[in-house]
Structure 1
Amino acid sequence: MTASHPELTTDQFAAKIFDVVRGAASAQALYLGDRLGWYRTLADHGPSTATELAERSGTDARYAREWLEQQVVSGVLTADLAHDPVRFELPRAHAAVLVDTESTSFMLPLARLFAATGVRLPDLVQAYRTGGGVSWAQLGVDAREAQGAMNRPVFSTQLTIELLPLVPDLHQLLTAGGRVADIGCGEGWASIALAVGYPSLHVHGIDVDAPSIAAAARNASERGVADRVTFDVADAAELRDAAYDAVFAFECIHDLPDPVGVLAAMRRIAEPGAPVIVMDERTADVFTPDAGPVEELLYGYSILCCLPDGKSHENTVATGTVMRASTLDTYARSAGFDGASVLPIDHEFFRFYRLQ
């Protein structure tokens, strides 16, 4: 049996590819607007001419005008053609998507991530030929910051307010306080959210990436929770002492070269009976061509970022982004758990598991 999308004519498929390439150009234009501060400047100052935007952002006016016109043509900005010179505006509804870092509609980090992978396409070609990898360190600052920024709104506005309260016993335990570990904490937004949402908690964030840990410490200090949130650079698989009342791993298990080793360590460091919770991608149960746009995006992450990073390590299982529930269950059983049960938390992008 052959499974596929409905067959397109040559012209229909050519139009599809045209839209794909047009979207790629638009994504790079989004990156320019992000890194040059143009979206933020338009949001802060309102309708602006190209010269005004350039002066306020310390950039070149001729480039600014070309970019502004492209943004209007692509439907991102609006233009007041009655004004001479033309004024360009970022609509308020669009600002939530492009500049509001706490909005669950914030999408700009996606462009930053794929800009980072685009720079490394020659390395990815070589990795695909040889079976090697391209690490997060090689992808650099753009990828690291994009990863943190993509998940920040979910953690800041949903995690402790909407999602974890759906599991009453877990919510009650966290409300009572104690000490929890956040494995693979990245830039610390989940750790910070836990501390803000549960004021009696002390949170210990752990990650192997030193720049991420440095950013996490700054973020915790800026949010006023550094007295209850600490961060350390460490290999989670080497942790030994049972010292935590709950252990979390937010969207990192699929990235790990040795997920079984880390899950086994999470089991070791949890106090007897303490919950061990994993949040990872919400994927279809099995590979299917009609899995939808979210899974299409997850495969984009996987082929350009997560799988190459996994393959950059020795002795790796090379999971990739599209980790099925059955795969995590297998990892959990290999780590000494009885399995991974799906928690009753409904989210478009993520699935929550309790390891028992």
Structure 2
Amino acid sequence: MEDLTNTSTDAFAERIFSSVLGAMDCLTIALGDRLGLYDALAEHGPLTAEELSRHAEIDARYAREWLEQQAVAGLVDVARPADSGESRQYGVNDAQRAVLCDRSLESYLTPLTQVLAAAGAQLDALETAYRTGGGVGWASYGPRMRRGQADANRALFLTSLPEVWLPAVPALHERLTEGTRVADVGCGDGWSSIGIASGYPASTVDGFDLDPDSVAAAHVNAADHGVADRTTFRCVDAATVDDAHGYGLVTAFECVHDMPDPVSVLATMRSMAEPDGWVVVVDERVPETFTGSGDPVEQLMYGYSVLVCLPDGMSHQPTRATGTVMRPEVLRAYAQEAGFADIEVLPIENEVFRAYRLLTPAH
């Protein structure tokens, strides 16, 4: 009879080993991204290790080891593996370029490796936080975390948001097309604000975020994308905003779950909107209930929560300590506490995000 215990152990060990290989891939991708190695291969490749070292201004021996590891892992192509280490050439194919290099595509996943690397660098601080009930604030993760998070959503907010998501809600699309004022709460580096402004030239967007580095980046990004005349950005805690009203649309993209006091922010968003204005929250598309073994999206969000979002939330006191996995019923409770009547899931299809309209009692 087959030893089921050994079989199960072997299968689980294989799963963990695969995870270790995946983690190593992520860290070597993050390293290659920081050094500009993928961009050099995409622009100048195929390249030998010596040629890559010159283009990227790194040591040749390190260039060779990184290239060989990337080829063995299937992350870059090697033209003639039997050539000597000095003459062997490496490059990126179209699929690799789309995932590792092209920042204009939603398939660009390299920023996620930067998020993982930044989280891993805080392992000691996370251990302390878990033991003491303290936290690890967003700023502690450093600029790589901020940029990785922003770049991960950049293409989505610049393309799908104005071209697919908002047009899927006809009444909102019409309002934006005719022209309205938009308040974008928790705007980060500004990509959601810029996406809306780019897609709807008759509308203006005011972004609000409490991170000064993000607000500074948002100003630069808006100028680079030609919408600086229709976007403004303020460095302020949205919960304290009391001088911004009359918006036809108030949004919060993937940030409510991070807020230590989401109810106060949602209440502010309600006051910012016109009486018939829209309040829209976009957050993670996680299952409605916890069932144990979950799908890849739920696994990803719990990973974020354990390493980043919950520790950041716990770094503020008092805090709701929501974590990344904010299920619909949790948001509904927050919204009702903030004075909304209910939430409505909007017909916007995406594998990772779910969009909600927060309904006022009049609806």
- Take 2:341 and 2:299, find their aligned partners in 1: how far apart are those partners? 31
Q: What's the RMSD between the two structures over aligned residues?
A: 1.3
Q: 1:78 to 1:172 in 2, by over 3 A?
A: same
Shift of 1:10: 1.2
For residue 18 of structure 1, what is the amino acid of its counterpart?
A: F
- Please give the TM-score of this superposition, normalised by the length of structure 1: 0.97
Please give the alpha-carbon distance, in whole angstroms, between the structure 1 residues aligned to 2:133 and 2:17. Answer: 31
* Matched ranges for 1:175-194 at <5 A: 175-194=177-196
The answer for the alignment partner of 1:10 in structure 2 is: 9
Distance 1:7 1:309, change over 3 A: farther
Deviation string 1:329-349 (CA, Å, 9 cap, x unpaired) is 000000000011111111100
Q: Cα distance 1:167–1:7, how it changes in 2: closer, same or farther (>3 A)?
A: farther
The 3-state SS of whatever aligns with 2:277 is: coil
1:27 is the counterpart of 2:26 = yes
Which among 300, 305, 308 is matched to residue 303 of structure 2?
A: 300
Q: In structure 2, what is the Cα distance between the partners aligned to 1:11 and 1:283?
A: 30
The residue matched to 1:291 in structure 2 has which SS? coil
1:52 is the counterpart of 2:48: no
The question of 1:248 aligning with 2:247 is answered no
- Alpha-carbon distance in structure 1 between the residues aligned to 2:304 and 2:142: 15
1:162-241 superposed matches below 5 A = 162-240=164-242, 241=244
Supply the AA of the counterpart residue of 1:282: R
- Tell me the TM-score normalised to structure 2 length: 0.95
Quick check: 1:285 aligned with 2:285? no
The CA distance in 2 between the partners of 1:147 and 1:163, in whole Å, is 20
Residues 255-306 of structure 1, C-alpha deviations (whole Å, 9 max, x = no match): 0000000000000111111000000000000011242111101111000000
Amino acid at match of 1:16: R
Match of 2:71 in 1: 72
Rounded Cα–Cα distance in structure 2 between residues aligned with 1:317 and 1:105: 33
Alignment match, 1:332: 335
Shift of 1:8: 6.1
Q: 2:267 aligns with which of 264, 274, 285?
A: 264
Q: What is the alpha-carbon distance in structure 2 between the residues aligned to residue 142 and residue 88 of structure 1?
A: 27
Three-state SS of the structure 2 residue aligned to 1:71 is helix
3-state SS of paired residue (1:193)? helix
Identity score, percent: 52
Q: What SS class does the counterpart of residue 47 from structure 1 fall into? A: coil
In 2, the alpha carbon distance for the partners of 1:290 and 1:168 equals: 37
Distance 2:79 2:12 in 1: 36
- The one-letter code of the counterpart of 1:165 is P
**Structure 2 CA distance for aligned equivalents of residues 287 and 7 of structure 1:** 29
In the alignment, which residue of structure 2 is the partner of 1:345?
348
Please state whether the residue corresponding to 1:271 is helix, strand or coil.
strand
Residue 134 (structure 1) aligned to one of 136, 148, 155: 136
For 2:306 and 2:104, the matched residues in 1 are separated by 28
Q: Give the drift of 1:7.
A: 11
Paired residues in the alignment total 351
| Paired residue type of 1:270 | A
Q: Distance between the aligned counterparts of 2:21 and 2:293, measured in 1?
A: 23
Q: CA deviation at 1:242?
A: 2.1
Give 1:83 shift.
Answer: 5.0
3-state DSSP of counterpart to 1:301: helix
Aligned match for 2:121, one of 109, 119, 134: 119
Whole-angstrom CA distance in 1 between matches of 2:294 and 2:9 = 24
Following TM superposition, the consecutive aligned residue runs of length 4 or more in structure 1 with deviations greater than 3 angstroms are none
- Distance in 2 separating the partners of 1:25 and 1:98: 15
Between the aligned partners of 1:111 and 1:8, the Cα distance in structure 2 is 32
Q: Which amino acid aligns with 2:280?
A: I
Q: Secondary structure at the match of 2:320?
A: coil
Check 1:313–1:7 CA distance in 2 against 1; reply closer, same or farther (3 A cut).
Answer: farther
- Following the alignment from structure 1 to structure 2, what is the Cα–Cα distance between the partners of residues 20 and 153? 27
Show structure 2 runs of 5+ residues with no match: none
SS of residue in 1 equivalent to 2:289: coil
Q: Deviations over 1:219-239 (max 9, x none)?
A: 001111100011010110112
Alignment partner, residue 153 of structure 1: 155
Distance (whole Å) between structure 1 residues aligned to residue 291 and residue 158 of structure 2: 33
How far apart, in 1, do the equivalents of 2:196 and 2:110 lie? 24
2:316 alignment partner AA: H
